[in-house]
């Protein structure tokens, strides 16, 4: 124990007047050189004075003095042992706190993994749907290109060993009131006759759409305004100049 610690242990005895002779002289000299001991001595003296005022007699009882001195002289190791359990609680509480944090982190990690799996499943479904839509779009584009591309080749299949039969096709857009008529394999009519196209609406008289002569290969193309309500189309052979109503049976007809 250092010299200062020796004096510090004797502060209460000095305050109670139990030091005498050289011991008291040395202690007084130490007080002159040590502000810390002087401050602590002043606090002890204040406490002793308060204790004295609270007593019935003019001086503290002898048993109280002995009990106070006994407590002060007790080894510091006992105080250390008494205080230690409180400090030992700190690591234990820290361990519990860390364990709770670890459990919360594990739970949060599991929740995030579940969400990630769900997102991946949704992305996989979306990719599959997108691939299916892309394929359908590609197929539709192929069909459209095959029919409408300038370099598309059209082949008509007919019965073998029979003469080609006349045929006609009508293309129309109701929203634009536009119509296109295409004829194939028509024979050349007599010089006094002509072909005439008719548009027929339900429960209505046929409407004349115009007369025409095919080319040397029996083909003809004609575009015109779309007659209102027309659903059926027919071609008849009429006298040159045409007629306002059909005078012969239809050569070709369709709806």
Q: What is the pLDDT of residues 94-144, one digit of tens each?
A: 777 777 788 888 778 878 888 888 888 888 888 888 888 888 888 888 888
Mean pLDDT of 190-196: 95
The answer as to CATH 2.30.30 being correct for domain 167-254 is no
- pLDDT score for 232: 92
At residue 1, does pLDDT exceed 60? no
Q: How confident is the model at residue 80 (pLDDT cuts 50, 70, 90)?
A: very low
Separation in Å, CA 210 to CA 41, 151, 175, 238, 241: 133, 31, 22, 11, 10
Full strand arrangement of the beta sheet holding 232-239: 207-212, 193-200, 232-239, 252-254
Q: How confident is the model at residue 54 (pLDDT cuts 50, 70, 90)?
A: low
pTM above 0.75, yes or no: no
- pLDDT score for 83: 46
At residue 220, does pLDDT exceed 90? yes
The secondary structure of 138-207, three-state, reads: HHHHHHHHHHHCCCCCCCCCCCCCCCCCCEEEEEEEHHHCEEEEEEECCCCCCCCEEEEEEEECCCCCCE
- pLDDT score for 245: 94
Which range (72-76, 194-198, 231-235) has the least confidence? Answer: 72-76
- pLDDT score for 3: 63
Q: How confident is the model at residue 168 (pLDDT cuts 50, 70, 90)?
A: very high
Q: How confident is the model at residue 181 (pLDDT cuts 50, 70, 90)?
A: very high
Radius of gyration of the chain (CA): 60
Per-domain boundaries in the chain = 3-74, 84-154, 167-254
């Amino acid at each position: 124990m250092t010299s200062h610690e020796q004096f510090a242990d004797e502060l209460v005895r000095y305050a109670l007047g139990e030091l005498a002779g050289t011991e008291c002289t040395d202690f007084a000299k130490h007080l002159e050189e040590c502000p810390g001991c002087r401050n602590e001595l002043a606090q002890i003296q204040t406490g002793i004075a308060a204790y004295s005022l609270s007593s019935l007699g003019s001086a503290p009882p002898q048993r109280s003095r002995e009990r106070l001195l006994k407590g002060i002289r007790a080894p510091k190791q006992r105080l250390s042992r008494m205080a230690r359990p409180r400090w030992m609680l700190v690591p234990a509480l820290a361990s519990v706190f860390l364990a709770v944090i670890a459990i919360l982190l594990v739970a949060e990690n599991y929740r995030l993994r579940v969400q990630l799996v769900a997102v991946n499943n949704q992305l996989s479904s979306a990719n599959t749907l997108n691939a299916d839509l892309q394929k359908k779009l590609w197929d539709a584009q192929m069909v459209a290109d095959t029919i409408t591309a300038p370099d598309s080749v059209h082949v008509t299949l007919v019965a073998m060993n029979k003469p080609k039969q006349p045929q006609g096709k009508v293309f129309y857009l109701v929203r634009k009131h536009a119509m296109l008529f295409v004829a194939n394999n028509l024979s050349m009519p007599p010089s006094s006759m002509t072909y005439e196209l008719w548009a027929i609406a339900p429960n209505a008289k046929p409407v004349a759409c115009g007369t025409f002569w095919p080319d040397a290969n029996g083909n003809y193309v004609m575009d015109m305004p779309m007659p209102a309500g027309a659903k059926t189309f027919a071609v008849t052979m009429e006298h040159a100049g045409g007629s306002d109503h059909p005078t012969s049976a239809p050569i070709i007809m369709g709806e």
